[in-house]
Structure 1
């Protein structure tokens, strides 16, 4: 069963909401010369750049999103790449519709 409370809490933070939108749109930050990655997904340096946050704050938010199973991550060298977990998001929406009989 999907944990709608944990997911709702993760989605309630404006920064995490913005991060999920970045992942959904595969947006890159202004990271000229950062990781300069050929990989799919959004690099942690893109998130730092786009949101103007320090790495430790980004890591905190990414852990919250990962614990809610809203994202997946993959390490490539010293960088991490993040992806929206579309299946979890789809199941969450379905469960909320059932819970509220929409």
Structure 2
């Protein structure tokens, strides 16, 4: 079971929400990356820094929140980290939210 409160808190920040939208829509402009298993398309932290105008430490902070909430999977590669949406967690969050709020 996913921690819906933690996920909602992570998504409540506008920057983290933007990052999630970038991951969902695959909005890479400089370096679209694929996961080691070749299954997922993601972003490197340099892409997020460039697109959102953030310094590396701010990107790291926001990505840690998303990773800790289970929304994002992190794969270190050299000096960069690549990030991928965790579709299983997102799907479980949406299903649980629908169950909790969909029943009257």
TM-score normalised by structure 2 residue count: 0.86
Distance 2:32 2:93 in 1: 31
Q: 1:38 Cα shift?
A: 6.8
Deviation at 1:101, TM superposition (A): 2.7
Matching residue of 2:93: 92
Report the Cα offset of residue 39 of structure 1.
3.2
1:39 counterpart = 2:40: no
User: 5+ unaligned residues in a row in structure 1: which ranges?
Assistant: 32-36
Residue correspondences, number: 96
Q: Aligned-pair distance for 1:53?
A: 0.5
The alignment's TM-score, normalised by the length of structure 1, stands at: 0.87
Structure 2 residue 84 is matched with structure 1 residue 83: yes
Structure 1 residue matching 2:33: 3-state secondary structure: coil
**How far, CA to CA, are the matches of 1:38 and 1:97 in structure 2?**
32
The 5-angstrom pairing of residues 1-102 of structure 1 reads: 1-29=1-29, 31=30, 37=31, 39-40=33-34, 41-102=42-103
CA distance in 2 between counterparts of 1:6 and 1:54 reads 25
Q: Can you list the C-alpha shifts for 1:25-60, whole angstroms capped at 9, x where unaligned?
A: 12224x5xxxxx573220000000000011111100
* Aligned equivalents of 2:49, 2:32: Cα separation in 1: 18
- RMSD of the TM alignment (CA)? 1.4
Structure 2 gaps of 5+ residues are 35-41
